[in-house]
Amino acid sequence: MNYGNLIKISFRALMNNRLRGFLTMLGVIIGVASVIAMLAIGQGSKASIKNQISEMGSNLIMIQPGNGQFGGVRLSASSMQTLKLADYQRVANEAQYISRCSPIVSSSGQIIYGSNNAPSTVTGVNTEYLEIRQYKVDQGEMFTDDDIKGMKKVCVVGTTIVKNLFSNGEDPLGKVIRFNKTPFKIIGVLESKGYNSMGMDQDDIILAPYSTVQKRILAITYINSIFASAISEELTDAATESISAILRENHKIREGEEDDFHVRSQEELATMMSSTSDIMTILLACIAGISLLVGGIGIMNIMYVSVTERTREIGLRMSIGAKDTHILLQFLIEAILISVTGGLIGVILGIGSAAMIKFIIGWPVQVQLFSVMISFLVCSLTGVFFGWYPAKKASKLDPIEALRYE
User: Which ranges of 55-74 would DSSP assign to H, the alpha helix?
Assistant: none
Q: How many CB atoms lie under 10 A from the CB of residue 286? A: 11
The confidence band for 60, taking pLDDT boundaries of 50, 70 and 90, is confident
CA separation for the pair 396, 210 (Å, rounded): 86
Read off the pLDDT of each residue in 42-50 and give the average, rounded to a whole number: 77
Q: How many CB atoms lie within 10 A of CB 37?
A: 25
Q: How many CB atoms within 10 Å of residue 71?
A: 5
Tally of CB atoms within 10 A around 88:
22
pLDDT, greater one: 196 or 387:
387
> Could you report the per-residue pLDDT of 271-294, keeping only the tens digit for each?
766 677 777 778 777 877 787 788
| Poorest-pLDDT segment among 51-55, 337-341, 353-357 | 51-55
Residue 210 DSSP SS3: helix
**pLDDT tens, 94-120?**
989 899 999 999 999 999 998 889 999
Q: Given this model, what pLDDT does residue 77 score?
A: 46
- The CA-atom distances, in angstroms, between 406 and each of 110, 310, 315 are 91, 10, 12
For residue 214, the SS3 value is: helix
- Domain spans, the chain: 3-52+273-404, 81-259
Q: Which residue has the higher pLDDT, 250 or 76?
A: 250
pLDDT (average), residues 176-186: 92
pLDDT above 50 (res 194): yes
Contact 346, 31 (CB under 8 A): yes
* Cβ-contact 127, 143 below 8 angstroms: yes
- CA gap 254, 252 in Å, rounded: 6
Distance (Å, rounded) from C-alpha 320 to C-alpha 312? 13
Of 186, 191, 132, 180, nearest in space to 158 by CA: 191
Picking from 376, 323, 380, 382, the residue whose alpha carbon sits closest to that of residue 6 is 323
CA dihedral 170, 199, 191, 151 (to 10 degrees): 80
d(CA 306, CA 402): 14
What pLDDT is recorded for position 242?
92
The lowest-confidence range among 5-19, 25-39, 184-198, 340-354 is 5-19
Select the more confidently predicted residue: 19 or 270: 19
**Residue 334 near residue 13 (C-beta atoms within 8 A):** yes
pLDDT of 207: 95
- Give the per-residue pLDDT at 404: 64
In this prediction, residue 257 has a pLDDT band, given cuts at 50, 70 and 90, of: confident
Sign for the pseudo-dihedral over CA of 252, 254, 260, 263: positive
What digits encode the pLDDT tens for the residues 342-371? 889 989 998 998 889 888 887 788 888 888
Strand-strand pairing, 137-140 and 182-190: antiparallel
Question: 383 near 335, Cβ under 8 Å?
Answer: yes
Residues 6+ apart with CB under 8 A from 335: 299, 303, 383, 384, 386, 387, 388, 390, 391
Q: Per this entry, what is the length of the chain?
A: 406
**pLDDT score of 3:** 62
Chain centre distance of CA 15: 45
Q: How far apart are CA 207 and CA 120, in angstroms?
A: 11
